Structure 1
Amino acid sequence: MQPRRQPPPAPGARAPRPAGPGLALLLWLVLQGAAAAPAGPAEDPGAPQAVGLPRGILQQAARAALHFFNFRAASPSALRVLGAVHEGRARVDPQKGCKVELVFSTESYNLEAGEDHLGKCSAQVFFKNQKPRPAINVTCTRLLGKEKRRQEDYRLYTQLKQLQSPFRGSLPDSHGRIEASLRPLWDLAFLGSSYVMWEKTTQFSQYYLAQLRSVNQWKMSGDAVDFDYTVLLHEFPTQEILPCRIRLIWYPGKPLKVKYQCQELQTPEEASGTVEGSAVAPTELIHL
């Protein structure tokens, strides 16, 4: 069965990743005192950039905000993907980083035939100089109703609890398909990966979930489902494929618990992540 939505498409070509702190100062000199004009549509990477705004920074901020939103919502049925960026402003402090304020539209990650789950989000995203894990405050409206979301999450939870044997293989398959019976595994992997992608995003790099390589389901005495995933994250603009092992514990209506380890050269503070003890900005879910 062909899924309604495949992993988000790769963005257009990007400039090489800045390699040193001197570029941050250069960026500031370009932006000093200049407020960004309204952004063009997200789907047109070739459109002229707003004066003083680094190329792609609004889309970068919108995707980071959505990674954070998806993780904090902790609901596979509430997963969102980027529609278009409508407006935004960026300001750079050479000592601290880049602050972006923006408004963007979203779509439901799993659209059913004939449904139109559009929404709008406003966000403040602060990229710290040369550091991952931007600080984010995001508010989204026109979401799936609370009761409908609870029912959908519990249905998915029941499917996961009834799995008879651990999944072995990759999702999507070589033809880009995900069988309906395996869709809950992908959705949960997408949910857990959102935390990892938010933590690793900087103003110069962003991540997409490219593939789910393996899943191990742990036996727990409690009601939560406990999975150990191996995923491949596609990083832009370097085009690197980053393998990450993610341990995820989830129960409908409860905060998501995530721990991970990625195979790459990292500084000690980036080597692994966990949701426990993280100081994060609030996420607001408003149902209209």
Structure 2
Amino acid sequence: MLTGKLNPNHYPAQRAAQVVVHYLNTRHGSPYWRLGLHKVHNATAEEVGESGRKYILKISLQDWISNTKDSCTAEVVFPGGNAEGPPQVTASYEGNLKNTRAEEEALYNQYNTSLNLLSGHDIPDSYGHVDPEMKPFWHLGSVASSFIMLNESREDTLYNMAQVVNVTQLETLNNQLRFNYDVLLHEMVSQEIIHWKVLATWSPEEGVKALQMEKLPQCDHCKPPQNH
């Protein structure tokens, strides 16, 4: 692996930057706030002995919902040797977190009191379309998937979420809305489509949490929708 200054457009820099996206989504994401990578501006890599390999990044991130773009500086350390576990991330996000409290509380109250539990599938559909009423749950599924992708990320991977195959709302527990998600993750380096199940909870107070994550058997017929 290269050290020193990296080409911002090449895989090593892009992979480390995508880890930062997953990290921030797991900490701040919601049905109304979800980050994506806009651009890597500067990237360097250095060996840090047995601790692994450190990437130092200057990137810009895009809120997929409001389409705003803000800067972020970050360090990503991938474990070295035979060490296991997710990369360690420190990040300074220079944008203001969007105030979506009113929208979140309205959504929470609607689905916390509904007699009919939510269910949906194929989000987006095969043409890349997401019904407006399902967009918050598409974003929620993407944020929940960031927990998986952060945990699974290594120096030779590059993950994106491709599709929510199914989402089913469960009964509210401890004031948390609960959802079973089946999701397809696209590993861009190998081009493998990986099927995962995740039990996610959410409330405006507690944010999104992934309580259980399970990799499902390989799905030979699975493919990402267009324009994902």
Aligned-partner SS, 2:46: strand
Q: 1:246 to 1:221 in 2, by over 3 A?
A: closer
Aligned partner (choices 200, 207, 215) of residue 167 of structure 2: 215
Question: Which position in structure 2 is the counterpart of 1:104?
Answer: 59
Aligned partner (choices 176, 188, 201) of residue 249 of structure 1: 201
In the alignment, the residues of structure 2 paired with residue 264 and residue 121 of structure 1 have an alpha-carbon distance, to the nearest angstrom, of: 36
2:5 is the counterpart of 1:36: yes
Q: Name the larger-Rg structure.
A: 1
User: Which digits, 9 at most, give the CA deviation of each residue in 1:85-142, with x for residues without a partner?
Assistant: 111211024633210111101111113xxxx511111111001136451000111122
**Runs of 4 or more off by more than 6 Å in structure 1?**
none
Question: Which position in structure 2 is the counterpart of 1:149?
Answer: 100
Question: Which position in structure 1 is the counterpart of 2:221?
Answer: none
In the alignment, the residues of structure 1 paired with residue 30 and residue 117 of structure 2 have an alpha-carbon distance, to the nearest angstrom, of: 24
Question: Which position in structure 2 is the counterpart of 1:18?
Answer: none
Question: Which position in structure 2 is the counterpart of 1:170?
Answer: 122
Q: Which has the higher strand share?
A: 2
> What is the number of residues matched between the two proteins?
214
Q: 1:76 to 1:165 in 2, by over 3 A?
A: closer
Aligned-partner SS, 1:153: helix
RMSD between aligned residues: 2.2
Q: Give unmatched runs, 5+ long, in structure 1.
A: 1-26, 43-54, 266-288
* Identical columns (%): 26
TM normalised by structure 1 equals 0.68
Q: 1:36 is matched by which residue type in structure 2? A: K
2:56 is the counterpart of 1:70: no
In the alignment, the residues of structure 2 paired with residue 247 and residue 88 of structure 1 have an alpha-carbon distance, to the nearest angstrom, of: 34
Deviation of 1:69 after TM superposition, in Å, equals 0.4
2:183 is the counterpart of 1:231: yes
TM normalised by structure 2 equals 0.84
Q: 1:249 is matched by which residue type in structure 2? A: T
CA contact (8 A) 2:26 2:209 kept: no
Deviation of 1:155 after TM superposition, in Å, equals 3.2
